[in-house]
């Protein structure tokens, strides 16, 4: 559990964790939950044309854009959206990339059911949908058979920000959130609490340990300060 943290810091943390997890022989999985300050990321399936560059927020550089090596297209990240980053040694667990994605979807759907949200998949599409639109986006990467990046679940973000990212290339997906599905407030802590057991179960873990923060963040912060 990392609370709100800069996107770039978490990306560096994930890179370090990919190396650490990939070097172990016990199959340990690391699952990161956090929120990000507002930023747009563009995956391998996206392009600059997917971004509403005429927005004053982008012209004045109030919102930054990052090109990242993950699946999926353009995504906006902001407070109120829960970023879910599973660092999983796929080969150790015998998961193909497709099976890993299926398990990630399954864990999300089970947790949302526990939260009384009736969500579903769409044939041939990655992500989670509800009656009001798309609730979660996927953007997964794999390096040396270890997964990183992951899923982004809209809990209670400012939905107007999603107009900055065009959805035509994604089949006119209408973005929505759990607050719209529930027609009322949704606590981020309750969402994290539902997701943790369901995702660990879906990924084949029989037990888990919960930590706030991560010791590697101190090394990431030190490295960042030296390079500044």
* Model confidence pLDDT, tens digit, residues 16-61: 999 999 999 999 999 999 999 999 999 999 888 888 877 777 777 7
CB 93 within 8 A of CB 145: no
Tokens coding 50: 């997917």
Residues 6+ apart with CB under 8 A from 136: 108, 127, 128, 151, 152, 153, 154
Domains of the chain: 7-219 (3.30.930.10)
* Model confidence pLDDT, tens digit, residues 137-150: 999 999 999 999 99
User: The whole model's pTM is what?
Assistant: 0.90
Structure-derived torsion over alpha carbons of residues 204, 206, 210, 214, reported in degrees to the nearest 10: -50
Four-residue CA torsion sign, 172, 152, 6, 90: negative
CB 22 within 8 A of CB 48: no
* Model confidence pLDDT, tens digit, residues 22-33: 999 999 999 999
Q: Which carries the bigger pLDDT value, residue 216 or residue 142?
A: 142
CB 6 within 8 A of CB 36: yes
CB 138 within 8 A of CB 83: no
């Amino acid at each position: 559990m990392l609370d709100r943290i800069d996107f770039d810091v978490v990306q560096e943390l994930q890179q370090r964790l990919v190396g650490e997890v990939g070097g172990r022989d016990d199959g340990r999985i690391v699952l990161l939950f956090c929120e990000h300050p507002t930023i747009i990321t563009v995956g391998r399936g996206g392009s600059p044309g997917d971004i509403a560059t005429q927005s004053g927020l982008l012209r004045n550089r109030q919102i930054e854009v990052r090109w990242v090596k993950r699946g999926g297209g353009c995504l906006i990240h902001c407070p109120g959206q829960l970023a879910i980053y599973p660092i999983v040694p796929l080969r150790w667990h015998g998961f193909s990339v497709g099976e890993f994605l299926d398990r990630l979807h399954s864990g999300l759907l089970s947790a949302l059911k526990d939260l009384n949200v009736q969500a579903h998949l769409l044939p041939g599409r990655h992500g989670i949908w509800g009656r009001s639109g798309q609730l979660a986006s996927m953007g997964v990467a794999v390096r040396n058979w270890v997964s990183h990046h992951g899923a982004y679940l809209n809990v209670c973000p400012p939905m107007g920000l999603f107009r900055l990212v065009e959805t035509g290339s994604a089949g006119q997906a209408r973005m929505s959130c759990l607050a719209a599905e529930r027609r009322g407030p949704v606590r981020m802590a309750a969402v994290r609490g539902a997701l943790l057991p369901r995702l660990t179960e879906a990924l084949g873990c029989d037990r888990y340990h919960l930590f706030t923060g991560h010791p590697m963040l101190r090394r990431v912060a030190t490295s960042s300060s030296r390079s500044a």
